[in-house]
Amino acid sequence: MKMLESIYIMAYRQIKRFVRAKSRVAGVIINNILWLLFFGLGWAYTLRGQQFQVLFKGLDYLAFLLPATFATSIFQASFMGGISVIWDKQFGFLKEVLVAPAPRSLTILGRALGDSIVSLLNGLIMLAFGFALTSKLNPAGLPMALAIGFVMAVGFTSMGIAIASTMRSPEGFQLIVGTITMPMTLLSGAMFPLNMTPEWMQILALVSPLTYAVDLCRYFLTGVSFLNMVYPWLTQEVEALLLVVTSLALMVIAMRMFEKTTIE
Amino acid sequence: MEFDIVVENLVKRYGSVEAVRGISFQVRKGEIFGFLGPNGAGKTTTIHILSTLLKPTSGKALVAGYDVVSEPNMVRRNIGIVFQDPSLDDNLTGYENLYIHGRLYGLNGQGLRERIEEALKFVELWDFRDRLVRNYSGGMRRRLEIARAMLHTPRILFLDEPTIGLDPQTRVHIWDYIRKLNREYGTTVFLTTHYMDEAEMLCNRIAIIDHGKIIALGTAEELKSMVGSDIVYVKLAKPDPDICSKLSIAGVDSCKVVEGGTVALQVKKASEAIPAILLHLDRLEIRVTEVSYRRPSLNDVFIHLTGREIRDSEGSFIEVARMRHRARMR
Ligand SMILES: Nc1ncnc2c1ncn2[C@@H]1O[C@H](COP(=O)(O)OP(=O)(O)OP(=O)(O)O)[C@@H](O)[C@H]1O
Ligand SMILES: [Mg+2]
């Protein structure tokens, strides 16, 4: 009971803070709309013809892109969420948490869960626009997509927290987030089909857990998996397993790293 | 147990900087104990070690009977702390800040709600409970931090410069809370300050700390009796570094040149010593522009022990810089 308590209260705080920050909520929604409009619709019109549907295994570009954007937007929001650890360092709230008798590994877990829920909401908003823009998404796949979204959110929030635990300045963290987020998003197969890319790029993509998350979300929402077609051993079960394992590993790393944070 | 805090030979080094250089002291149960010292003396470092946020380089510290290094969780259960720098969540309300704190310390339900109400009323913030902390004044934040630190009724309360940067009225207010807390709940209080009046008004016993060392420890009365007697300040028309050698006359126990050509003389009884001193200086044809005297203060104790003022010019500069920093963080 006591354990759940510490997890719950930190999750509560993260969510409460997010809901309070109206400008942040509005910013997320506006960002999503702009991305879908200018990037999504732009390419959807460019790749309108029948001949392109072959590239996307019968999907049109919007149906190809939207499930993946659900995953990448969760990825970006989760990873960036680690910055609140640095803000807490700067504004002093971290000391309040560190001096409390609640175990640090649990308070940080609660924090990761809270931020995960926030970024999942973020992804949901994106997906709501998706359902409005195309009729090709399968609502029955939604629960699985949400589950995948949550697992990856926990993993990437943990990654953000682990990195933030070692850093002092938000600028430094943003720099790191920027340099990691961009290649991972591009390599994830969210915007172009990975099976068309050179082999070395595919290998790089397979190293990143985001690639699996994108492929899984696309599979559950449209029924098409691009990885499975190239690598028959990469079934949905294997992909899900890889994702869960990496997320758990990242979570344990974040707990360890946070235990070691000092105020020195 | 007789002592709530026992510290033996505590040392803390940051790289090559030795912030705490082997201090030892005990704090009795139910006592208000003060660390008085100038900027950079090592007060915050000591508090952070005692509250398990920093590991000491060497030495031993027991808080509430538990070792701060090997049993940090037991120590954390027994203490409350108000940090020198702000540590509230600005984007939450006063009530929410206390609520989260309470849950982190294992309180919940009706019990927690009652404690929050009691603590907020104690510091007279109940009416502002639903306001975002971002919109609190500096004094309100400090009071909220005190309410938060006492919420889980800790046995020992640490206060790191509780009234820094507050106006005189608010300071008196906060002193009242601290006294009341100590009286009504029997809380042991360990506080640091660089305000002499604060140490004198609040503390049962005071340790004077400078450059990481305790240079004196006792009640305010005991400390002042180290200086012993009255202090006569004589301001010379022309600064004279050798003045002390010329002033070795009967009745003058010690002599120290302080800044601006002023000499501080320790005497048994100022009213009798002043005419003798003036007569003596007149014979030496040393012109005096000003004479004053006072009963010794803790500042004189500090000067007596170190030859410096507790708030030298560098110190106050640092404080101004820090206040700006705090203001910017809000
Ligand atoms: N993280 C740190 N790294 C290196 N040196 C530090 C660190 N923290 C404190 N110091 C140094 O240790 C010494 C003691 O600092 P401390 O903060 O304990 O002093 P203090 O008595 O609390 O002073 P103040 O009245 O300014 O709060 C100072 O010389 C300070 O510069
Ligand atoms: Mg300090």
Domain locations along chain A: 2-259
Q: Are residues B100 and B232 in the same domain?
A: no
Q: Answer yes or no: is B88 within a domain.
A: yes
Does B295 map to a domain? yes
Using an 8 Å CB-CB cutoff, list chain A residues near B52: 99
Q: Is residue B47 domain-shared with residue B182, that is, in the same domain? A: yes
Whether residues B58 and B133 share a domain: the answer is: yes
Q: Which residue do the tokens 């509230």 mark?
A: B88
Looking at residue B290, which CATH number applies to its domain? 3.30.70
Distance (angstroms) between ligand 2 centre and the Cα of B243 equals 37
Quote the domain boundaries for residue B306. 228-323
Residues A172-181 pLDDT 10s: 999 999 999 9
pLDDT of residue B1: 53
Residue B292 is assigned to a structural domain of this protein: yes
Q: Are A104 and A3 in contact (CB under 8 A)?
A: no
pTM for this structure?
A: 0.84
Same domain, B157 and B181: yes
Please state the three-class secondary structure of chain A as a single string.
CHHHHHHHHHHHHHHHHHHHCHHHHHHHHHHHHHHHHHHHHHHHHHCCCHHHHCCCCCCCHHHHHHHHHHHHHHHHHHHHHCHHHHHHHHHCHHHHHHCCCCCHHHHHHHHHHHHHHHHHHHHHHHHHHHHHHCCCCCHHHHHHHHHHHHHHHHHHHHHHHHHHHCCCCHHHHHHHHHHHHHHHHHHCCCCCCHHHCCHHHHHHHHHCHHHHHHHHHHHHHHCCCHHHHHCCCCCHHHHHHHHHHHHHHHHHHHHHHHHHCCCC
Among candidate residues B176, B199, B224, the one where a domain is terminated: B224
Q: Check if B40 has its Cβ closer than 6 Å to any atom of ligand 1.
A: yes
Q: Give percent of chain A above pLDDT 70.
A: 99
Q: What chain A residue is nearest to B134 in terms of C-alpha separation?
A: A91
Q: Which of these three, B224, B254, B270, is where a domain ends?
A: B224
Whether residue B197 sits in one domain with residue B240: no
At B71 the pLDDT is 94
Q: Where are the alpha helices (DSSP H) in chain B?
A: 43-50, 72-78, 94-104, 109-122, 138-150, 168-185, 196-202, 220-227, 243-246, 270-283, 298-306, 313-329
User: In the listed set B224, B257, B276, which residue is the last one of a domain according to the structure?
Assistant: B224
Residue A1, pLDDT score: 52
**Which residues in chain A touch residue B48, judged by CB atoms under 8 angstroms apart?**
263
Closest listed ligand to the CA of B160: 2
CATH number at residue B39: 3.40.50.300
pLDDT at B329: 45
Q: B273 with B285, same domain?
A: yes
Same structural domain for residues B180 and B249? no
| Whole-angstrom distance, CA of residue B252 vs CA of residue B244 | 10
Q: Same structural domain for residues B212 and B245?
A: no
Per-residue pLDDT of chain B (330 residues), as tens digits, is: 589 999 999 999 999 999 999 999 999 999 999 999 999 999 999 999 999 999 999 999 999 999 999 999 999 999 999 999 999 999 999 999 999 999 999 999 999 999 999 999 999 999 999 999 999 999 999 999 999 999 999 999 999 999 988 888 889 989 999 999 999 999 999 999 999 889 999 999 999 999 999 999 999 888 887 776 788 888 888 888 888 888 888 778 888 888 778 888 888 777 788 888 888 888 888 888 888 888 778 887 888 888 777 764 334 444 444 444 444 444
- Measured from the Cα of B37, ligand 1's closest atom is 21
Q: Which of B119, B138, B137 is nearest to B177 (CA)?
A: B119
Q: Are residues B117 and B262 in the same domain?
A: no
Are the beta carbons of A127 and A73 closer than 8 angstroms?
no
Whether chain A has a CB inside 8 Å of the CB on B224: the answer is no
CB B13: neighbour CB atoms within 10 A?
A: 15
Work out how many domains chain B is built from and give that number.
Answer: 2
- Is B31 in the same domain as B131? yes
Residues B291 and B232 in one domain: yes
Point out the residues of chain A with pLDDT beneath 70. 1, 264
Going from the Cα of B310 to the center of ligand 2, the distance in angstroms, rounded, reads 14
**pLDDT score at B324:** 43
